Amino acid sequence: MDNFVFSNPTKIVFGTGVEMQAGTEVKPFSDRVLLHFGGGSAVRSGLLSRIRESLVATGIHCVELGGVEPNPRLSLVREGIALCRREKLSFILALGGGSVIDSAKAIAVGVPYAGDVWDFFDYSTQPATALPVGAVLTIPAAGSESSSRSVISNTEMQLKRSVTTDLIRPRFALMNPELTYTLPPFQSACGIADIMSHVMERYFTNTRDVELTDRLCEAALRTVIVSAPSVMCDPCCYAARAEIMWTGSIAHNDLLNTGREGDWASHAIGHELSAFYDAIHGAGLAVIFPAWMKFVYRHDLARFAQFANRVWEVEMDHFNPEKTALEGIRRMELFFHSLGLPATLSDMGIPDDRFAEIATKCTVRGKGTTGKFVKLDPKAVIAILTLAK
């Protein structure tokens, strides 16, 4: 096990009705707030007006900015920064999923910065300070509600890039599983694929002696696998929605990578698919992860056989661990398929004519590699994309 520091101070308030605590949670930070939300689900469900009510009841002045799109845009982030400055807002409350929360985080680092906020995303500089952010989560997926990351799309440059700093970890996350009842089945499925990917990016590691975190990862995966069918059959199943929602945070709050190195190549490739084709994050991962696995499994057959056995309940064939490993990958593909997720890039409408460009972009302009479990050069990335097509 590697040395590590684990600190995740996001306060989680979980359960029915917790969104009505928005006012009391925000109040210690500010009484002038930007209420940030997406394309309409929060308006349609009545959540936005309930939150507004809770803020106003606590004497908080709020200004609203909706319209965050999946793969959140830099242009709206810039608009949010200008709005916060003009209205002297000093807290950002995000109402939504990863896209809204990431947009809120980007605004938070942009407001106190004299330059352009994209400087943080192209790694020219690191944020020195940020406005505080809070989240009311409506879709379990990205884990942004307690992560230190914001991922933003720059459509002009066809880039999707992230900034990582503890300054943007939400101060609190209000998590009511009932708020996820209105999710369309496909969005629930994409969220599930993303949650599982966050665990698997951590699970496939070269670090030795990590039994506890292996077992925690396996428990997180099993919980999602067992709960997913209930959510797909009955969108209002509180028990299953609650399991998935909490697993979504645990999957990405850094606990599962304590003392071990993660991989993250599938995410890097997935982000390029979003940058080029506006691909939905979780759907892209459902296609790329199995292809990545088929490309790298021989690197550590024992780990892949363990994954198959403990996560997918494949009987261990000690004489033929490769067979066990491949059956695990196959069961994962079947599982994604059962949720209605795409199996190939062509299912997603993604053609095969820009693989070289994608590979160059996610390997430091073709001069480096991506991933840690197996370091992938551009040729390897093209091979994975070819397996996924």
Q: Where along the sequence are the contacts to Zn ion (CB under 5 A)? A: 194
Residues 112, 131: contact at Cβ < 8 Å? yes
Kindly tell me which of 231 and 308 has the beta carbon lying closer to ligand NZQ. Answer: 231
**Piece of the chain touching ligand NZQ by CB under 6 A; list 92-100, 230-238, 310-318, 361-369:** 92-100
Whichever of 50 and 73 has its CB closer to Zn ion, that residue is 73
Whose tokens are 């004489």? That residue is 319
- Considering only residues 168-187, where is the footprint of ligand NZQ by CB under 6 A? 179-180, 182-183, 187
Figure out which of the listed residues 10, 54, 144, 363 binds ligand NZQ, where binding follows CB under 6 A: 144
Q: Which stretch binds ligand NZQ (CB under 6 A): 113-121, 134-142, 326-334, 366-374?
A: 134-142
Q: What's the number of CA atoms in the CB half-sphere (13 Å) around residue 250? A: 17
The DSSP-derived string for 221-258 is HHHHHHHHHHHHH-TT-HHHHHHHHHHHHHTTSSSTTT
Decide if residue 340 touches ligand NZQ (CB under 6 A): no
282 binds, among ligand NZQ, Zn ion, none (CB under 5 to 8 A by kind): ligand NZQ
Partner from ligand NZQ, Zn ion, none binding residue 100, C-beta < 5-8 Å depending on class: ligand NZQ
> Which of the listed partners (ligand NZQ, Zn ion, none) does 147 bind, with a CB threshold of 5 to 8 Å by partner kind?
ligand NZQ
**Does the protein bind ligand NZQ through residue 50 (CB under 6 A)?**
no
CB 101 within 8 A of CB 94: yes
Q: Dihedrals φ, ψ of 173, to 5°?
A: -130, 125
Told to check if 141 binds ligand NZQ by CB under 6 A, we report: yes
Tell me the C-alpha distance between 206 and 202, whole Å. Answer: 10
Decide: 27 and 60 in contact? Cβ < 8 Å: yes
From the list 84-92, 106-114, 144-152, 301-309, the region that binds ligand NZQ by CB under 6 A is 144-152
Q: Would you count residue 40 as binding ligand NZQ (CB under 6 A)?
A: yes
> In the Cβ-directed half-sphere of 34, how many Cα atoms lie within 13 Å?
32
10 binds ligand NZQ (CB under 6 A): no
- Binding ligand NZQ by CB under 6 A: which of 41, 205, 309, 324? 41
162: part of which helix (H) or strand (E)?
strand 159-164
- Pick what 139 binds: ligand NZQ, Zn ion, none; C-beta below 5 to 8 Å, kind-dependent: ligand NZQ
Q: Summarize as ranges the residues that interact with ligand NZQ (CB under 6 A).
A: 38-42, 70-72, 96-100, 102, 138-139, 141-144, 147, 149-151, 179-180, 182-183, 187, 191, 194, 252, 267, 281-282
